[in-house]
């Protein structure tokens, strides 16, 4: 159908006059349906693009029919041309226009004038519909872009983009991405079906499909691909018709994002440009996630390089250690642990540098190395915390660190606890469990006031040092999680140290913060 023809509804109770008007319209290329009453017209109007409406109808006036059509949301945008041989006064024409008519013709009307008026009304209606559709698509594009930028995972981004493309264009959509592990991932969405469907693909699929559109040297492009060619690229696709294919990459050599859309949903240059912009938004979102993942991997590798690869062995003591980063896409924190010989005993340390960043991990490494240096010089635990506090205040003013030192004598089981604002150690012995050594002021402040406490670890007893990431939660009270940990420790006391460490972590599931934990058991 071209711009000048459409589906028209002619409403007139005079059969002869209706025949003449319908004949003129059909000769001009329009498709016409007819109605003789207002009620008939109201039942047929939803399928029309334009209505020619006589004012005098047997069951109701054309003015009332016009008002009812224009007051219904589904038909309000349909243009109406009122026609009358009797209501021809200025007041009649003005009243018809106030009831919603887009034009008013007085009979007898010249065929050329009728066709020209119909053409003008159709042209204006289609221009308005096109503008409204473009605005709706751009509004949805903005919403989808926000969802893409807010996605924290590749799968979340792909689902947001595929579902959003289907909402924009109203047809089936397939998004193809290359995952960080080199595998291809296809995510599809269909109108009327909630959610998305994920499918795998061979390595290089996204690059191969993108090359069909981008060629060489292009950052983004869009092209029409015939069904046969599309099936050659994607033999097992569920989209088995002509498609519009958009591809984008942030820079040469970076993985491309590819979006395939059923061609039935693409109307005009604006739609093609919106699809291209969506592909660019996906490519930028994927690049941001990749950069974040790569930066996190570098920071996590650096952080773990600061931590002991293996704990030393001490006669009469068994140890187990756990370190769990919060998630694959979170920034690294400053959690650290250490176990060193000190005289005839063992000094166990655990701490947490304020913040989550590469800087926090770097300062953590400095604090740990300073701790090792002060231990090698023979300083007592209380002196060590004071020296570490001076290091922080001199080289990293404003940075706060918690630290807990535990000096254990394997021969006697005597424990000396020096706590600087850290979570208290958990002492498990004799079938019971309780916290000891709570208190003290964090390091990095002008005041240095650790809490010092002694306790005894009997043979078979266990002491657990952990960072706050294990028990802190936005939706659970800290005291409740501390009690959960205490109960788990008492119940699992008979397990070997490695199993015991796992049993302490099990009740908490994935954590929002990094977790470090050392389990120390006196064996003899």
pLDDT for 327 equals 55
Q: Which region among 24-33, 177-186, 347-356, 484-493 has the lowest average model confidence (pLDDT)?
A: 177-186
Residues 226 and 252 in one domain: yes
Q: Which two tokens stand for residue 489?
A: 């420790």
Q: Which of 290, 324, 340 is the last residue of a domain?
A: 290
Query: Is residue 139 situated within a structural domain?
Result: no
The mean pLDDT value for 203-226 works out to: 85
Residues 326 and 471 in one domain: yes
Query: Is residue 348 situated within a structural domain?
Result: yes
Query: Is residue 296 situated within a structural domain?
Result: no
Whether the upstream peptide bond of residue 108 has omega within 30° of 0, thus cis, is yes
Residues 76 and 205 in one domain: no
pLDDT per position as a tens digit, 246-265:
999 888 878 889 999 999 98
State the angle between helix axes of 111-150 and 154-169 in degrees (0 to 180), rounded to the nearest 10: 170
Residues 273 and 342 in one domain: no
pLDDT per position as a tens digit, 104-121:
999 899 999 999 999 999
Give yes or no for a contact between 441 and 420, defined as CB atoms under 8 angstroms apart: yes
Query: Is residue 136 situated within a structural domain?
Result: no
235: Cβ contacts below 8 Å, ≥ 6 apart: none
pLDDT per position as a tens digit, 462-478:
999 999 999 998 888 99
Rounded distance, CA 432 to CA 64, Å? 86
pLDDT for 25 equals 94
Cα four-point dihedral sign 72, 73, 77, 78: negative
Query: Is residue 1 situated within a structural domain?
Result: no
Residues 382 and 490 in one domain: yes
Rounded distance, CA 286 to CA 389, Å? 42
CATH of the domain at 71: 3.40.50.2300
Residues 278 and 311 in one domain: no
End-to-end alpha-carbon separation of the chain, Å?
92
pLDDT for 297 equals 67
Residues 127 and 171 in one domain: no
Give yes or no for a contact between 64 and 87, defined as CB atoms under 8 angstroms apart: no
Decide which of 69 and 332 is more confident: 69
Q: What is the 3-state secondary structure (H, E, C) of 72-135?
A: CCCCCCCCEEEEECCCCCHHHHHHHHHCCCCEEEECCCCHHHHHHHHHHHHHHHHHHHHHHHHH
pLDDT for 346 equals 95
Residues 421 and 505 in one domain: yes
Query: Is residue 471 situated within a structural domain?
Result: yes
Quote the pTM value: 0.55
Give yes or no for a contact between 371 and 430, defined as CB atoms under 8 angstroms apart: no
Model confidence at 294: pLDDT above 80:
no
Parent domain of 464? 307-522
Model confidence at 295: pLDDT above 70:
no
CATH of the domain at 184: 3.30.450.40
pLDDT for 2 equals 46
Query: Is residue 300 situated within a structural domain?
Result: no
Please report the DSSP string for 448-507 in residue order: ---EEEEEE--TT-EEEEE-GGGT--SSS-HHHHHHHHHHHHHHTTTS-HHHHHHHHHTT
Give yes or no for a contact between 403 and 388, defined as CB atoms under 8 angstroms apart: yes
Residues 374 and 508 in one domain: yes
Q: Which region among 93-102, 142-151, 216-225, 400-409 has the lowest average model confidence (pLDDT)?
A: 216-225
Residues 414 and 351 in one domain: yes
Number of domains within the chain:
3
Query: What's the Cα-to-Cα distance from 416 to each of 176, 409, 413, 463, rounded to whole Å?
Result: 59, 9, 10, 12
Bridge-based pairing state of the strands 50-54 and 7-11: parallel
Residues 389 and 488 in one domain: yes
Q: What are phi and psi of 186, to 5 degrees?
A: -110, 130
Residues 337 and 418 in one domain: yes
Q: Which region among 242-246, 321-325, 499-503 has the lowest average model confidence (pLDDT)?
A: 321-325
Query: Is residue 384 situated within a structural domain?
Result: yes
Identify the band that residue 408 occupies on the pLDDT scale cut at 50, 70 and 90: very high
Give yes or no for a contact between 514 and 350, defined as CB atoms under 8 angstroms apart: no
């Amino acid at each position: 159908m071209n711009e000048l023809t459409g589906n028209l509804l002619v409403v007139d109770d005079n059969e002869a006059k209706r025949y003449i008007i319908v004949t003129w319209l059909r000769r001009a290329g329009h498709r016409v349906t007819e109605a003789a009453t207002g009620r008939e017209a109201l039942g047929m109007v939803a399928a029309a693009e334009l209505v020619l409406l006589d004012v005098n109808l047997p069951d109701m006036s054309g003015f009332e029919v016009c008002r009812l059509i224009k007051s219904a949301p589904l038909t309000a945008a349909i243009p109406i041309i009122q026609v009358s041989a009797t209501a021809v006064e200025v007041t009649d024409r003005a009243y018809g226009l106030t009831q919603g008519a887009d034009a008013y013709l007085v009979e007898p009307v010249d065929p050329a004038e009728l066709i020209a008026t119909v053409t003008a009304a159709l042209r204006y209606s289609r221009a308005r519909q096109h503008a409204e559709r473009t605005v709706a698509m751009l509004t949805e594009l903005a919403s989808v872009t926000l969802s893409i930028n807010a996605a924290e995972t590749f799968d979340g981004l792909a689902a947001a983009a595929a579902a959003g493309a289907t909402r924009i264009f109203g047809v089936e959509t397939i998004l193809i991405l290359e995952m960080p592990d080199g595998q291809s991932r296809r995510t599809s969405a269909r109108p009327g079906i909630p959610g998305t469907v994920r499918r795998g693909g061979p390595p290089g699929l996204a690059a191969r499909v993108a090359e069909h559109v981008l060629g060489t040297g292009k950052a983004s492009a869009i092209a029409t691909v015939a069904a046969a060619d599309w099936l050659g690229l994607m033999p097992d696709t569920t989209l088995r018709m002509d498609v519009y294919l958009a591809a984008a990459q942030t820079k040469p050599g970076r993985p491309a994002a590819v979006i395939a859309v059923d061609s039935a949903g693409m109307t005009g240059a604006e739609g093609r440009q919106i699809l291209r912009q969506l592909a660019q938004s996906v490519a930028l979102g994927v690049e941001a996630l990749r950069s974040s993942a790569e930066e996190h991997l570098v920071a996590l590798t650096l952080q773990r390089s600061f931590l002991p690869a293996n704990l030393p062995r001490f006669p009469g003591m068994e140890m187990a250690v756990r370190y769990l980063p919060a998630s694959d896409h979170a920034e690294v924190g400053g959690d650290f642990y250490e176990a060193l010989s000190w005289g005839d005993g063992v000094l166990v340390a655990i701490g947490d540098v304020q913040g989550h960043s590469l800087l926090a991990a770097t300062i953590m490494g400095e604090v740990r190395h300073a701790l090792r240096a002060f231990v090698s010089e023979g300083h007592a635990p209380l002196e060590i915390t004071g020296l570490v506090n001076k290091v922080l205040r001199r080289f990293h003013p404003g940075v706060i660190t918690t630290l807990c030192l535990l000096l254990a004598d394997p021969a006697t089981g005597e424990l000396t606890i020096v706590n600087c604002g850290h979570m208290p150690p958990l002492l498990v012995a004799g079938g019971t469990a309780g916290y000891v050594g709570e208190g003290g002021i964090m390091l990095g402040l002008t005041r240095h006031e650790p809490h010092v406490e002694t306790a005894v670890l009997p043979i078979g007893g266990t002491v657990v040092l952990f960072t706050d990431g294990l028990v802190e939660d936005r939706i659970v009270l800290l005291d409740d999680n501390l009690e959960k940990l205490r109960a788990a420790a008492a119940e699992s006391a008979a397990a070997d140290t490695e199993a015991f460490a796992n049993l302490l972590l099990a009740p908490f599931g994935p954590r929002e913060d990094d977790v470090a934990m050392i389990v120390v058991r006196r064996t003899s």
